[in-house]
Amino acid sequence: MDRKVGCLICGRDLVYSKEARDVTCAVCGKTWSTTATCEAGHFVCDRCHSLEALDLIEEFCITTTLEDPLAIACTLMRHPAIRMHGPEHHFLVPASLIAAYCNHLGEPGRKGALLRQARARAGTVQGGFCGTHGACGAAIGTGIFASLITGSTPLKKQEWSLANQMTARSLMMIARHGGPRCCKRDSWLAIRTAVTNLSERFGVALPSEGKVRCEFGDINRECLREACPFNRTTRPDGPPSEEEL
């Protein structure tokens, strides 16, 4: 898969018009004059094309109005700043959940402060934690999300428990599929588990269709192929439910 061409939002071909027109950037939300959009009408400005991974994640999550955290995560993953594997996923997971959660509750103004805290916390989770510490950073990201929305601290009771339950449940789901690591697979599994847990334990049902079909297998040397629940060939209708997994 080559993300140097095509739309960074949906992957479709770019279309060039003869006359420039004002279009809103799908990442930063600012209006720019351009002759280039994709077939679906998406536009990403030059500045956002060049953003570093963590800046991209934070800025897009502040701007987006999406309420589906999987859709947010998949959109971010298509940007070339988000590598196949890397610690940026430790922030991408809680950021996608925070954006979807706040948008769903009609509280977009909360996103900025929560995202800044999530970014700082995720930055302490080193790359390779999944193999060296027995704790995947994507799962820890769901715990970061839960701790932020509950206001958990080491001295809290219920909030402390809820945050640890979120991480534990995500870790168990990721562990069921074995290694080697795939930051995309593990992030999707973590987010899906967090959505289920959020509904059951917090009473907040985020609109998440969950029909992720992987676009990254061709560039992942460690891909599980047919054994992956998100394989687009063996799972054309999307991954199995959490109960099936």
**215, 184 Cβ separation under 8 angstroms:** no
Identify whether 207 is preceded by a cis peptide bond (ω within 30 of 0).
Answer: no
Which residues share a beta bridge with 32?
23
CA dihedral 111, 112, 118, 121 (to 10 degrees): -160
- What is the pLDDT tens value at each position of the chain, 245 positions in all? 444 456 878 878 888 888 889 999 988 889 999 988 988 898 988 888 768 999 999 999 999 999 999 999 999 999 989 989 999 999 999 999 999 999 999 999 999 999 999 999 999 998 888 989 999 999 999 999 999 999 999 999 999 999 999 999 999 999 998 889 899 999 999 999 999 999 999 999 999 866 788 989 888 988 999 999 998 877 555 555 555 55
Question: The whole model's pTM is what?
Answer: 0.84
